[in-house]
Amino acid sequence: MSTDTRHMISRGALAAAVALPIVFLAGMAWAQVEGQPTPGGVGLPATVTEVGRETQFFYNSILLPIITFIAISVLGLLIYVCWKFNEQANPVPSKLTHHTGLEIVWTLIPILILVFISIPSFRLMTKQVEIPEAAITIKVTGNQWYWSYKYPEDQGGGFGFDQLMKADADLVPGDVRLLSVDNEAVVPVNEVVKLQITANDVIHSYVIPAFSIRMDAVPGRLNETWFKAEKEGLYYGQCSKICGKDHAFMPAAIRVVSREKYDEWLAESKKKYSAAESPVKLAASETIR
Ligand SMILES: [Cu+2]
């Protein structure tokens, strides 16, 4: 192969390595509807929390380029070896079986890549796991097949309610099929919300993509996660543990509003929900109170 051809091939490979992530990134730049899936959307959903932005940066700008580079390099190497060392081109094969230098290199490079990834990864994980001082604590319980919420008394709450998916017949314009619910949970904007998550029957998983939260709801166990939404709006999520026949029909919906509206909602809900105490008995709630 002439030097020119070789240069062309390596330049082509380099261009592909650079272009592929850009194509992915361009996909993500397509307007994503916040809080719900976007038809034809590519990439991660729009996020409205700092942790979400950092998670997406980690994925899009660190992991994706590394993955793309490794995949293209390995593929290139395979193609090169098939072409260079096939029987016709290379009738007398080498008898070499060990190469200490090469073995050290192919062990060391993956280790270095992993160490490089681990630094931002652990930093991000710490941020997700360490819960800052929370303004609001909400207890979320997974049931077959809906979510229940409890707002504690000492924060102006003292009520609980169930959140069930709206049936197709109940949808009004603006609703999203399979995501809209009868009772939305409400939280104030720009305040740290702590969620305590558990389940009544089987393992569920509480996920709101726009907040970058995903936490297993396990019977008999109280898991915690947090978010601080920076934008008002309605954010949907879904259970993401296969939890039975209606697993796909237990969406979660959180509406983020201003502090004033939140206080109003709290006062109204207190009247509305405490009149009709939640029909569902929250197994774990008695033990933590
Ligand atoms: Cu579930």
CA of 236 to the centre of ligand 1 (A): 14
At 144, is the secondary structure helix, strand, or coil? coil
Same domain? 143 vs 119? no
What is the Cα–Cα distance from 198 to 223, expressed in whole angstroms? Answer: 6
Looking at 107, 129, 151, the residue that finishes a domain is 129
Looking at 102, 129, 156, the residue that finishes a domain is 129
CA of 161 to the centre of ligand 1 (A): 17
- Mean pLDDT over 99-113 rounds to 94
The better pLDDT of the pair 280, 57 is held by 57
Total number of domains in the chain: 2
CA of 167 to the centre of ligand 1 (A): 17
Same domain? 149 vs 81? no
CA of 212 to the centre of ligand 1 (A): 18
**What's the confidence (pLDDT) of residue 38?**
87
Write down the residue that tokens 């038809």 correspond to: 39
**What's the confidence (pLDDT) of residue 234?**
95
Same domain? 102 vs 231? no
Same domain? 170 vs 225? yes
Same domain? 185 vs 107? no
**What's the confidence (pLDDT) of residue 253?**
96
CA of 216 to the centre of ligand 1 (A): 9
Region of poorest pLDDT, from 28-32, 35-39, 81-85: 28-32
At 256, is the secondary structure helix, strand, or coil? strand
CA of 109 to the centre of ligand 1 (A): 41
pLDDT tens digits for range 159-206:
999 999 999 999 999 899 999 999 999 999 999 999 999 999 999 999
Same domain? 150 vs 276? yes
State which residues form the domain around 169.
Answer: 136-288
Q: Of all residues in the chain, what percent carry a pLDDT higher than 90?
A: 71
Residue 3 has pLDDT above 80, yes or no: no
The protein residues having their C-beta less than 5 angstroms from ligand 1 (an ion) are 204, 239, 243
Q: Provide the CATH number for the domain around residue 222.
A: 2.60.40.420
Same domain? 111 vs 151? no
Same domain? 100 vs 205? no
Same domain? 96 vs 166? no
| Contact in structure between 235 and 254 (CB atoms under 8 Å) | yes
> What is the pLDDT confidence band of residue 288, given thresholds at 50, 70 and 90?
very low
What is the Cα–Cα distance from 279 to 285, expressed in whole angstroms? Answer: 14
Same domain? 184 vs 199? yes
Same domain? 155 vs 116? no
